[in-house]
Chain A
Amino acid sequence: MSDIFYTKDHEWIKVNGNEGIVGITAYASEQLGDIVFVELPQKGTIFDQGKDVAVIESVKAASEIYNPTSGEIIEINSSLEENPEIINDDPLLAGWLYKIKISNSEELKNLMNEEDYKKLIEG
């Protein structure tokens, strides 16, 4: 069983116990192109599943990031403030956005596994 889940809006969440790390997929990073700015949520704030939680700006446009599972933001990737292009270089590891304390793991059932996500992007 994979511990990575995907949203239809191209976010991923890597789950470890009751914590999750959130980022955007390689497909999303590629579609966005050169990323020039990231606005991250504040530590300690609580977001519901599906709420807009962050903004990623590429040269082209601003895109909202939707929170994959409800919970409290416990850490943000502050290296993205100065070097947002890390997301383009390494969207699945170094380009993570924030860590969240998952308040309701039942919600993970609303997300996709890797296989289903691949089907989505391959259309």
Chain B
Amino acid sequence: MSELLNENFHIEKTSLFDFHNQMNAKMVSFGGYYLPINYAGGIISEHIHTRSKASIFDVSHMGQIEINGPFIMEALEKILPISFSKMLPGKVKYTQFINHEGKIIDDLMVHRTDNENSVWLVVNAACKEKDIEHLRASLNKNFDINLRNDLSLIAIQGPKAEESLLKLIPSLLNMDFMSSNWTNHKNYKILVTRCGYTGEDGFEISVPNKYVTSFTESLLKNPDVKLAGLGARDSLRLEAGLCLYGHDISLKTSPIEAGLKWSLCKDRVSSADFIGGNAIRVEVNKGPVRSLLGFLPKGRAPAREGTLIYDSNDNLIGEVTSGGFSPSLGVPISMGYINTPSLDQKEIFLDVRGKKIPADVVKLPFVPHNYFKKGD
């Protein structure tokens, strides 16, 4: 069991590093940062608490990028398959940076702000440098690309997230899902976005580094709110069928294969006037060569990333990209790609350490999303 021992190499610390240690977090390195995998209660209890109440996650490793300059929205539409004209100021969209081959450089959140000369992006930690390079190469030099290392990012997720946040900031009542709002709290400015990565209602909140610990402590005064680590974040997003960059999506996969066509603006796909647009349009017309699906293995053995998938005639038909145990369902779950000719297979076989485990093919998500809709 020697793989238990973490290697010690240089990794960045978030502003909550000391706080995590005080809270008895088990720290690991992830995306170049030292972050909690879980706290004392363990992954399963943090997971279940998030689905029933609310949990706080430190996601300060994510890259928060502000880009300023005249006509920034027009410029970004040359590299993103979205239409800012269809977004009101304050709206947020999930999208991807796509390369000329139609594959995914990174997935991200993009905010249309109240200022038409300013756009806000939130990108994956491990992709920050690659993304900024891509932005610099694709955008005119006049744009100011600013990685906001002065801000931390925490997520509060779960059915009690809104109630808990309103106790501190009552003005946030009834924010739309996928919208964001700069607001003042105790004389500092924070950016609140109603979104998340768990399938639950929730918020991601950008807070100046020097206030993030006290802000987190204020949220934790509510007994409904607890801390959760990367372990629960991963099992929650897997149940919710949400892709993890570097695993379910990467430079080898396209948004169409990954079931992310919904996130691409239809008109932009037909006009194909963005980097990778031609490849995407061709793929949409021809259909993808494989598709991302969910699998429910029989028995208790989890089928993890890299598990090969076979049909009943022992033909290799795909591969698992994420897999583990679902604390909400109490069974193992996996997601991965199946080649198009085999998509009608009702039962497939997962090769776990040489044993062919039968599994049902299911549509994602495994656990229904519980996002906020106005009028609920």
Contact = CB atoms under 8 A, between A and B. Distances in A.
B1 A57 contact: no
A36 B300 contact: yes
Contacts of B38: 33
Interface residues of B, number: 21
Interface stretch (B89-97, B213-221, B324-332): B324-332
Given A9-B2, A11-B1, A55-B353, A62 B304 contact: yes
B81 interface: no
Contact of A63 (B1, B42, B43, B44): B1
A71 to B, nearest CB: 20
B63 interface: no
Contact of A32 (B4, B300, B332, B353): B4
A68 interface: no
B41 to A, nearest CB: 10
B37 A60 contact: yes
Interface in A1-20: 8-11
B235 interface: yes
Given A37-B302, A55-B353, A64 B325 contact: no
Contacts of A59: 43-44, 231, 235, 324-325, 327
Interface string B249-288: 0000000000000000000000000000000000000000
Contacts of B304: 61-62
A64 to B, nearest CB: 7
Contact of B1 (A24, A34, A84): A24
Nearest to B43: A59
Nearest to B235: A59
Interface in B80-107: none
Contact of B42 (A10, A33, A57): A33
Interface size class of A (residues with CB under 8 A): 20 to 34
A48 interface: no
B300 A31 contact: no
B44 A34 contact: yes
Interface string A68-85: 000000000000010010
B371 to A, nearest CB: 24
A10 B1 contact: yes
B301 interface: yes
Given A37-B325, A39-B301, A10 B4 contact: yes
A28 interface: yes
B3 interface: yes
A62 B3 CA distance: 10
Nearest to B230: A60
Interface string B1-24: 111100000000000000000000
A65 interface: yes
Interface string A16-53: 00000000100010011110110100000000000000
A37 B357 CA distance: 14
Contacts of A39: 301, 353
Contacts of A55: 353
Nearest to A30: B26
A57 B3 CA distance: 13
Q: Which of B1, B26, B43, B302 has the most CB of A within 10 A?
A: B1
Given A24-B1, A31-B1, 16 more contacts: A9-B1, A32-B4, A33-B26, A33-B38, A34-B43, A36-B302, A37-B301, A37-B325, A57-B325, A59-B231, A59-B235, A59-B325, A59-B327, A60-B37, A61-B304, A63-B3
Interface of A: 8-11, 24, 28, 31-34, 36-37, 39, 55, 57, 59-66, 81, 84
5 contacts: A28-B4, A33-B231, A39-B353, A61-B3, A61-B304
Ordered nearest first, which 10 A-B pairs have the shortest CB separation? A36-B325, A59-B43, A34-B44, A37-B300, A31-B4, A9-B1, A10-B1, A63-B1, A34-B42, A37-B301
